[in-house]
Amino acid sequence: MHSTFSMKELGLINYFLAISVTTSSSGYFLSQRKYATEILVKAGMTNCKASPSPLPLKTCPDSVDDLPFSQPSLYRSLVGALQYLTITRPDLAFAVNHTCQFLQSPLTSHFALGKRILRYLKGTLHQGLHFAPGPLTLHAFSDSDWAGCSLDRRSTTGYCVFLGPNLISWSAKKQPTVSRSSTEAEYRALAQTAAELSWLGMLLSDLHITVPAPMLWCDNLSAISLSSNPVFHARSKHIEVDYHYVRERVAAKKLLIHHVSSMDQLADLFTKPLPSSRFLYLQNKLLGSFIPLSLQGPVKESSHEQASSPDQASPAPAPATQ
């Protein structure tokens, strides 16, 4: 690469694009603690009380008494900043996706949800992604919350993909159309996860890495049966494209779909608000408990971080009440 490009060797990576990389004997730990702290400073919530989960168990639909938020630009700025934070914080994916749906006309209740995410962030600044050596096998969890949105009754697709023990891809996204049954919602989630696994398989192949057929875990027996049943059911004709895509990959032995109990469904974290105990259980399964010693104390910026990080964000004109 030196013979083709003008390059400079900077040694081992430790800070890049607001992502801190900690190297240890067990692997790499990616964290955005400094960036998350700057978001709290911008919102005026550095001393707020921590929350055990990013969203309340029930997010009520818009009330007729709910007023438009007086500073929509502040709401958009904070939610946009949180979007970048999901690069190393998959536990925030669903909550941030939910708040992003109100960017055009945020209400006071929507800003309250954003503050709830920031309070959760305050207590979990040390969290991040840990990458460790392991077998080069792909496996994924797929889930859907049928008609979970009380406003338009569209379902939410959630999935997470692992390469060996490492979480490498995840998504929390509302489905584009209304599903008429839980089986349809789950099957559409299966199709989206299968497409992600297919793309990752081609990427690894381009890198000359051969992996066995990926394994996909789903907690809906009807959707699993639909993926392997050669008889096309009349009730599923309206999802024909997704049916043929998943069915062909299963028939070609390029995708193995297995059932997993709802209690062990890791993708549940990406589809709906959860009770604190359930959320913390799944969060620990996804992110693990590995925390470098250097991140367990107060935030300390190295000289490299200070030189590489952007200017400190100026506080908003009217900070949120803590």
pLDDT digits (tens, 9 = 90+) for 117-133: 999 999 999 999 999 99
Residues 125 and 141 in one domain: no
Residues 125 and 175 in one domain: no
- In whole angstroms, what is the distance from residue 18 CA to residue 32 CA? 6
Instruction: Look at residue 147 in the predicted model and tell me its pLDDT.
Output: 79
- In whole angstroms, what is the distance from residue 72 CA to residue 59 CA? 20
Residues 75 and 166 in one domain: no
Helix intervals (H) in the chain: 33-43, 72-85, 93-100, 108-123, 182-206, 221-228, 240-251, 276-287, 303-308
Contacts of 155 (CB under 8 A, 6+ apart): 144, 145, 146, 147, 148, 149, 174, 175, 178, 179, 185, 188, 189
Is residue 48 a part of any domain in this protein? yes
Residues 117 and 166 in one domain: no
147 neighbors 153 (Cβ within 8 angstroms): yes
Instruction: Look at residue 281 in the predicted model and tell me its pLDDT.
Output: 92
Over residues 19-61, the pLDDT tens digits come to 999 988 889 999 999 999 999 999 999 999 999 999 998 776 5
Instruction: Look at residue 122 in the predicted model and tell me its pLDDT.
Output: 94
Residues 265 and 193 in one domain: yes
Residues 180 and 101 in one domain: no
Which one-letter amino acid corresponds to residue 220?
N
Task: State phi, psi for 26 to the nearest 5 degrees.
Answer: -95, -5
Pull the structure tokens for residue 215. Answer: 């394994």
At 138, is the secondary structure helix, strand, or coil?
strand
Task: State phi, psi for 123 to the nearest 5 degrees.
Answer: -90, -5
Instruction: Look at residue 237 in the predicted model and tell me its pLDDT.
Output: 59
Is residue 310 a part of any domain in this protein? no
Between helix 240-251 and helix 221-228 the angle, nearest 10°, is 70
Q: What is the CA radius of gyration of the chain?
A: 21
284 class by beta-carbon count within 10 Å (0-12 exposed, 13-18 middle, 19+ buried) = exposed
65 class by beta-carbon count within 10 Å (0-12 exposed, 13-18 middle, 19+ buried) = exposed
Residues 27 and 122 in one domain: yes
At 254, is the secondary structure helix, strand, or coil?
coil
Contacts of 307 (CB under 8 A, 6+ apart): none
289 neighbors 61 (Cβ within 8 angstroms): no
Structural domain that includes position 62: 21-129+276-305
The pTM assigned to this predicted structure is 0.82
CATH label of the domain that carries residue 147: 3.30.420.10
- In whole angstroms, what is the distance from residue 143 CA to residue 190 CA? 8
Contacts of 304 (CB under 8 A, 6+ apart): 14, 15
Instruction: Look at residue 232 in the predicted model and tell me its pLDDT.
Output: 54
Given a cut of 70, the residues of the chain with pLDDT beneath it are 60-65, 230-238, 240, 289-322
Half-sphere exposure of 222 (CA within 13 A, CB side): 11
Q: Cα 166 to chain center, whole Å?
A: 14
Is residue 121 a part of any domain in this protein? yes
Instruction: Look at residue 152 in the predicted model and tell me its pLDDT.
Output: 79
Instruction: Look at residue 25 in the predicted model and tell me its pLDDT.
Output: 86
134 neighbors 166 (Cβ within 8 angstroms): yes
Pull the structure tokens for residue 114. Answer: 């954003």
Pull the structure tokens for residue 142. Answer: 């797929």
Residues 113 and 154 in one domain: no
Is residue 312 a part of any domain in this protein? no
Place of tokens 């006309």: 105
Is residue 14 a part of any domain in this protein? no
Instruction: Look at residue 308 in the predicted model and tell me its pLDDT.
Output: 39
Give which of 187, 163, 193 is closest to 267, Cα–Cα.
193
Give which of 40, 103, 118 is closest to 73, Cα–Cα.
103
Q: Cα 88 to chain center, whole Å?
A: 9
Pull the structure tokens for residue 111. Answer: 């800003």
